[in-house]
């Protein structure tokens, strides 16, 4: 077993990044372009549909004069907060075409790399993994975000398949049966699965192999038909865990995987965490045993905490290779990415966030690249609220106004896919853009030219902070990270991220003191529905309830509720503290805590009592108003779909973390494992793995019990 990280190779031929000279005239909104990751690259041409023309809800705009110039709140010091220069430090000196010439990569893949993908040099991680995987070894591979791990596992896996099919170059290839899956890639999120699928399709463009993708939130029956169709091959299957399990159990995919050659876990640490583990264990049980079948297993991630090293020992064959391009003394973040923090009173969070964005957009971009920003929020409802607020405040932005996109688990899959494609396709030379997202976009998503990642509220873990930050500065490009915390979340900075050396954002106090913007935000909040606010309030309670230990409030749950109420009134501008259902309160363990406004459980999902009726009976499919509730099947137990009544036991508890999360059942606050609520299968078979949120309303029989996903409609990610 070779688990010793080998030292990072010195690359001689490539230009090496040098610290940036300070630029006197660049503003904080400037984003330095990189040739490695421009919209015009072959890859991005394929990925990118054109940008969405209009915002989600333009009619919600507040009445205020247009193009208000933002005050220069941060002035000179803020200039330090610009993106640093791009670099090529992640590249090796090996060219893809050298590997083709040496016979390491087959000519059709070489052609795809040249004509479809367009990269010249391998990245360091690719340089290491391709040969190791071709040798047939199981691998645990770690490299920083945005350094090309996807090709690092796809190229050698496809090459291995090629070699088995094209043993004799003069004879016809011997292909597996059309429905046989040779390479299985598991991804924790739907969007990432779709993205990997596109990259795999590009790679096999000149090979007789085909790629299929199965993810939650789409039609299970048509997927099953596609998987079993004689007319469509399935050499490479990319899947999210929940949907994959459904297919293994119900669509004949188990037989299709009988000759599986390579099993890949992308974002392996996430997939092997408690929240997914049961599902992953079941999936593995359906696959042929690695030892007997010669199946190779590959684990990839930018973050591999010690617990995953332990699990890797059981998941991989004993002689597995641990490959890392991160030296022991290095952090997992990119050194060329400035990271800042802003710690403010909770009531200032929204206006500081808004002021920051306006500041970033007020600077004339040089070169002509407008900001492309991703905002991360801890819960789906907080994400929704901020997106609605930004849309309402669009008239306060100068022309060309940014386009706003919103992605989280409470959106339908088609809306999510549309927003993902549109944000990916935004051309920074034309206008700016802001994606407001929950953790569904935290890992793996490759949006070109993201200039700033702004995280509001404590991320669920150090790893999650790193992955979110990794949405900027990809493939050597430039970027900036900003973490905005409420005072009580300071622990995240001082304890969890202690070694990462974030510095205070220049001119922070000016942002805090900007009463003009604070007033504008309060005005904007009047255009955000009470229902959205009340769901954000409940989600806030749920989220911080799960962080009680870390926050160490002296007043415990009493203080939690006091702060939640301050959030509702002082931050969200609610006139009164929103109501919350007794059942929800019970499940959060907050029964009897003073300060809560209890409402009847039958009042349509507690605090969602003002929700519209459209979500009823749809198995929790409603998109934004009324929550997805109405009795989504409720995680495990509860069947799926359901009749749309609140009697359903499947109360959507945790679900912070969009993701295709296994339904581990039971309320989950306080346990730290605060995820779930996504995928859900659309079949009505009532499997123990159905998650509630996206049941299709067919009312499959469930097993009772309390799960997550489904009815709650107020948390989720």
Ligand X SMILES: Nc1ncnc2c1ncn2[C@@H]1O[C@H](COP(=O)(O)OP(=O)(O)OP(=O)(O)O)[C@@H](O)[C@H]1O
> Which CB sits closer to ligand X, 302 or 577?
302
Instruction: Provide the terminal-to-terminal Cα distance of the chain, rounded to the nearest Å.
Output: 39
> Which CB sits closer to ligand X, 52 or 90?
90
Which chain residues interact with ligand X by CB under 6 A?
A: 36-37, 43, 119, 121-123, 126, 143, 145-151, 302, 444, 446, 470, 474-475
273: DSSP letter: S
Query: How far is C-alpha 345 from the geometric centre of its chain's CA atoms?
Result: 27
Beta strands in 378-428 (DSSP E): 403-407
User: Is the backbone peptide bond immediately before 310 cis, with ω within 30 degrees of 0?
Assistant: no
| Smallest distance from ligand X to CB 121, Å | 6
> Which CB sits closer to ligand X, 446 or 514?
446
Question: Could you tell me the maximum CA-CA distance found in the chain, to the nearest angstrom?
Answer: 79
Q: How many CB atoms lie within 10 A of CB 489?
A: 23
| Smallest distance from ligand X to CB 444, Å | 4
> Which CB sits closer to ligand X, 449 or 668?
449
State which residue has the least CB distance to ligand X: 148
**For 188, what's the count of Cα atoms within 13 Å in the CB-facing half-sphere?**
30
158 vs 106, 184, 211, 371, CA distance in Å? 10, 11, 11, 37
- Cβ neighbors of 649 (< 8 A, separation 6 or more) are 634, 637, 638, 704, 705, 706, 707
| Smallest distance from ligand X to CB 693, Å | 25
Whole-number CA gyration radius for the chain = 25
| Smallest distance from ligand X to CB 426, Å | 15
> Which CB sits closer to ligand X, 187 or 649?
187
Is residue 514 within 8 Å of 73, Cβ to Cβ?
A: yes
| Smallest distance from ligand X to CB 268, Å | 11
| Smallest distance from ligand X to CB 470, Å | 5
Structure tokens belonging to residue 614 = 């459209």
> Which CB sits closer to ligand X, 41 or 615?
41
> Which CB sits closer to ligand X, 92 or 715?
92
| Smallest distance from ligand X to CB 346, Å | 30
Please report the sign of the dihedral spanned by the C-alpha atoms of residue 683, residue 686, residue 688, residue 694.
positive
Residue 498 has φ and ψ, to the nearest 5°, of -45, -45
Gap between the Cα atoms of 535 and 713, Å rounded: 7
> Which CB sits closer to ligand X, 119 or 675?
119
> Which CB sits closer to ligand X, 143 or 706?
143
| Smallest distance from ligand X to CB 368, Å | 22
Gap between the Cα atoms of 358 and 354, Å rounded: 6
Instruction: With CA atoms as reference, report the closest residue to 580 among 517, 543, 537, 529.
Output: 537
| Smallest distance from ligand X to CB 659, Å | 14
Gap between the Cα atoms of 219 and 628, Å rounded: 18
| Smallest distance from ligand X to CB 202, Å | 10
SS3 content of the chain, % helix, strand, coil (to 5): 40, 10, 50
| Smallest distance from ligand X to CB 46, Å | 11
The three-state DSSP-derived secondary structure of 636-681 is: CCCCCCCCCCCCCCCCCCCCCCCCCCCCCCCCCCCCCCCCCCCCCC
> Which CB sits closer to ligand X, 424 or 616?
424
Query: How far is C-alpha 153 from the geometric centre of its chain's CA atoms?
Result: 20
Structure tokens belonging to residue 266 = 């992308």
Is residue 234 within 8 Å of 179, Cβ to Cβ?
A: yes
């Amino acid at each position: 077993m070779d688990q010793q990280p080998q030292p990072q190779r010195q690359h001689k031929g490539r230009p090496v990044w040098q610290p940036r000279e300070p630029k006197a005239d660049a503003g904080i909104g400037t984003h330095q372009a990189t040739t490695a990751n421009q919209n015009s690259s072959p890859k991005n041409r394929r990925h990118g549909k054109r940008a969405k023309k209009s915002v989600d809800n333009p009619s919600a705009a507040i009445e205020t004069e247009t193009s208000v110039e933002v005050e220069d709140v941060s002035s000179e010091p803020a200039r330090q907060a610009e993106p640093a220069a791009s670099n090529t430090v992640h590249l090796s000196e090996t060219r893809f075409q050298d590997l083709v010439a040496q016979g390491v990569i087959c000519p059709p893949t070489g052609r795809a790399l040249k004509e479809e993908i367009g990269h010249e040099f391998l990245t360091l991680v690719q340089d290491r993994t391709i040969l190791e995987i071709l040798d047939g070894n199981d691998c645990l591979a770690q490299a920083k975000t945005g350094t090309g791990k996807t090709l690092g596992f796809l190229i050698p896996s496809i090459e291995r398949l090629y070699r088995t099919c094209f043993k004799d170059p003069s004879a016809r290839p011997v292909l597996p049966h059309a429905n046989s899956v040779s390479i299985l890639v598991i991804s924790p999120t739907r969007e990432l699965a779709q993205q990997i699928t596109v990259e795999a399709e590009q790679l096999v463009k000149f090979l007789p192999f085909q790629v299929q993708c199965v993810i939650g939130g789409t039609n299970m029956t048509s997927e099953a038909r596609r998987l079993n169709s004689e007319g469509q091959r399935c050499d490479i299957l990319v899947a999210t865990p929940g949907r994959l399990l459904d297919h293994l159990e119900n669509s004949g995919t188990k037989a299709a995987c009988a000759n599986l050659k390579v099993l890949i876990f992308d974002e392996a640490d996430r997939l092997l965490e408690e929240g997914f583990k049961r599902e992953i264990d079941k999936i593995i049980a359906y696959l042929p045993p690695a030892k007997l079948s010669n199946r190779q297993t590959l684990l990839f991630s930018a973050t591999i905490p010690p617990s995953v090293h332990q699990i890797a020992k059981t998941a991989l064959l004993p002689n597995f290779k641990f490959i890392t391009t991160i030296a022991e003394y290095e952090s997992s973040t990119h050194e060329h990415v400035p990271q800042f923090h802003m710690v403010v009173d909770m009531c200032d969070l929204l206006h500081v966030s808004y002021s920051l964005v306006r500041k970033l957009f007020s600077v004339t971009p040089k070169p002509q690249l407008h900001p492309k920003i991703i905002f991360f929020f801890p819960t789906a409802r907080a994400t929704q609220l901020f997106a609605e607020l930004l849309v309402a405040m669009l008239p306060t932005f100068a022309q060309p106004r940014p386009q706003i996109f919103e992605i989280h688990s409470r959106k339908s899959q088609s809306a999510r896919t549309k927003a993902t494609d549109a944000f990916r396709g935004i051309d920074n030379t034309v206008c700016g853009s802001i994606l407001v997202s929950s953790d569904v976009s935290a890992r793996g998503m490759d949006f070109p030219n993201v200039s700033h990642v702004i995280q509001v509220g404590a991320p669920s873990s150090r790893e999650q902070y790193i992955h979110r930050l990794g949405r900027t500065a990809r493939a050597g490009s430039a970027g900036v990270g900003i973490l905005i915390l409420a005072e009580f979340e300071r622990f995240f900075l001082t304890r969890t991220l202690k070694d990462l050396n974030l510095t205070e954002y220049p001119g922070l106090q000016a942002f805090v003191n900007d009463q003009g913007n604070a007033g504008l935000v309060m005005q904007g909040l009047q255009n955000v529905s009470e229902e959205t606010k009340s769901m954000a309030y409940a989600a806030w309670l749920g989220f911080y309830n799960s962080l009680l230990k870390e926050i160490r409030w002296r007043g415990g749950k009493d203080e939690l509720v006091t702060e939640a109420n301050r959030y509702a009134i002082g931050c969200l501008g609610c006139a009164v503290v929103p109501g919350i259902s007794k059942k929800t309160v019970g499940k959060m363990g907050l029964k009897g805590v003073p300060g809560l406004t209890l409402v009847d459980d039958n009042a349509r999902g507690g605090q969602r009592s003002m929700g519209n009726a459209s979500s009823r009976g749809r198995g929790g499919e409603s998109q934004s108003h009324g929550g997805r509730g109405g009795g989504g099947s409720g995680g495990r137990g509860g069947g799926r779909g359901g009749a749309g009544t609140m009697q359903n036991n499947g109360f959507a508890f945790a679900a912070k973390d969009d993701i295709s999360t296994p339904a581990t059942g039971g309320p989950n606050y306080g346990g730290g494992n605060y995820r779930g609520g996504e995928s859900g299968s659309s079949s009505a078979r009532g499997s123990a793995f159905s998650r509630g949120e996206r049941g299709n309303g067919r009312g499959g029989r469930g097993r009772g019990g309390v799960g997550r996903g489904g009815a709650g409609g107020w948390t989720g990610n």
